[in-house]
Amino acid sequence: MRHTRIALALAAASLTLGGCAALGAGGDKAGESSAAAGGGKQWILFDQGSPTPSPAATVGKPAATPQVSLSAASPDPSCTKVWPRTEPVMIPVEVTPGSGSLTVEWPTQYRSNYRVTAVLQGVVVGRQPEPVWQAVPAGTGCTVRTTISGLTSGAPYIVWLDAPNTGRERDGTRHLYSGRSGVVYPR
């Protein structure tokens, strides 16, 4: 094994020091092949040429890059109530507690029909119950209002507002809800 390493090292050294001539492939003159040195034809031909100029940088015209934009509908200028906006895809909701009920109001958005539900925030063992949605037609005024009744007085609820014909993610999927309240308690 040691002799093999020494032999490989000597062969590599002779190639490094002698180049192609160490293998018998070099000629007597620079650029001459071993075939030419032996009287045969050259196997590498060099043509005389002229240098070409370096390519010049060309300046193009700027083009607009298409961008995705997401914006909320503009409010009706005749509506005087100011609704806070925390996110462009959320519809703000205002909830007024009543006796075993919640009155929900929100600005008219996108000429859509709506559905609303109050989800109990108590701890549930096992499978969570499906929310019961209440259908609400599209509003014609500045706001839409509905009342959710049959709720437990003093229990914590969150109101969800869904506008089925609006509210899309950038990839086209629909939002699970378009508006949501904080925790509210019917009286």
pLDDT, averaged per 10 consecutive residues of the chain (187 residues), comes to 59 56 50 52 65 68 48 61 71 94 89 91 89 91 94 95 79 78 95
pLDDT recorded at residue 63: 54
pLDDT recorded at residue 94: 94
Enumerate the domain spans of the chain: 2-24+32-37, 94-184
How far apart, in whole angstroms, are the C-alpha atoms of residue 79 and residue 107? 9
pLDDT recorded at residue 164: 83
CB contact at 8 A, 100 and 153: yes
Task: Count CA atoms within 13 Å of residue 124 on its CB side.
Answer: 8
Q: What is the DSSP string of 79-145?
A: -------SSTTPPP-EEEEETTEEEEEEE--TT--EEEEEEE-S--SSSPPPP--EEEPPPSSSEEE
Nearest to 132 by CA among 113, 160, 92: 160
Task: Return the CATH number of 94-184, one of 3.40.50.720, 2.60.40.10, 3.30.70.890, 3.30.450.20.
Answer: 2.60.40.10
CB contact at 8 A, 109 and 91: yes
β-partners of residue 65 are: none
pLDDT recorded at residue 178: 79
CB contact at 8 A, 135 and 33: no
The phi and psi torsions of 17 (rounded to 5 degrees) equal -80, -35
